[in-house]
Chain A
């Protein structure tokens, strides 16, 4: 019989059963491997002066790399438009606007962001002001040198922060030559939202982008919603929120600061006092729109809880505040995400 199988067994029930089983088993394993998408992550450090992390579930390395490159390109493009420190060739960007005082042919995104800034100014009673650039610039330089700004100089510069001086009739023009715009409160949220829209339009279903603490999510991970940890300013985590499609933004006094004479000076300046806002240690906003969440978190950081609550209610968002004593306050629907 030397290894030869009798002809009959090719048609026997046993043989067929065996083969069928192998096929079925292999199909199951195969679909199991294919059906489980892999988690990929990438980070970019060259946009918006912060780190952007991108995590997505894709079927292959190539697929992820493609999306990652597209995301990076889009963020870079918007970063260059909103950058107030550098110009980039012919691009009519924010830096060029601040230097020249006007732009003839501004990119539509810049126009959109400025109009958004104007709306937020009136909604927040001036607590969110994109025209605060000159004051913010002084603080930025002072932080780098670890010294306090001269109060008179601050006062002086605050006179050049009138948002009404931005005219949008013919391109963009700043009526006050000593005024400058700063989009720090809005740019990241807006850019993350636009970039995410691009990815969604291209068919990516499950991903999250964290642009320096501005998180945009879409879809889920295999184990459920995306988990965003909110830091306790004194160390550790206060809580985690779980989102699928919503955006989460946290503004905190522990993110960017300088210590001068033993006192901490953080980077979110209260337009009324011209000094770092003292209301809260941290404010977290959850909203369907990343651009709104970014604006709201900065605005809420510079206002008391009552006004903040009114504002987020108006925009169907939720918020969590941590005050100077470590007390935590939540809006009604916030714990639905915990």
Chain B
């Protein structure tokens, strides 16, 4: 395959995954939320994990970033976007490093991603609202890793059953 074809394929793949990611992030807002602010299932992370394991890291970054921008444009929530940016940057970094080390499974990488994502959001809250927001950190870390673990299981199943999409094609 020529490099142009590869690029085209890559753009198409990323676009598709971004769309799925965006839909997942919207769908989960329809689910009932827990008492704490910002507690969601993090379903969109399944897409990011898929990209991380099947494609390249940069694909995961692009999918995450574009999805956040889409959310911002369509739902107009600037502060929500800021929280997401903090969460996404830190969790992608953490997930990348854990995956790279090779010592953890998708579940481990995902649970860390979930926890660190929430940590990033609390950090954003502290910057914008003050240190009182730190009170939310303990439960959000635990919930983050719990939802992350679940997402990791789902992502693992998907990765196992879906062939192709990646460099192997």
Contact = CB atoms under 8 A, between A and B. Distances in A.
Interface of A: 13-14, 17-18, 21, 24-25, 28-29, 31-32, 35-36, 222-223
User: What 7 pairs across the A-B complex have the smallest Cβ distances?
Assistant: A222-B130, A21-B93, A32-B127, A35-B127, A32-B126, A28-B123, A36-B130
Contacts of A31: 127
Contacts of A24: 89, 93
A14 B100 contact: yes
A28 B90 CA distance: 10
A304 B100 CA distance: 78
B83 interface: no
Contacts, number: 33
Nearest to B129: A222
Given A17-B96, A223-B132, 19 more contacts: A13-B57, A14-B100, A17-B93, A18-B97, A21-B93, A24-B89, A25-B93, A28-B90, A28-B127, A29-B123, A31-B127, A32-B126, A32-B127, A36-B126, A36-B127, A36-B130, A222-B130, A222-B132, A223-B130
B86 A28 contact: yes
B118 to A, nearest CB: 15
Contacts of B127: 28, 31-32, 35-36
B163 to A, nearest CB: 26
Nearest to A20: B93
A222 B90 CA distance: 25
A35 B133 CA distance: 14
Interface string B85-111: 010011001001100100000000000
B89 to A, nearest CB: 6
Interface in B126-156: 126-127, 129-132
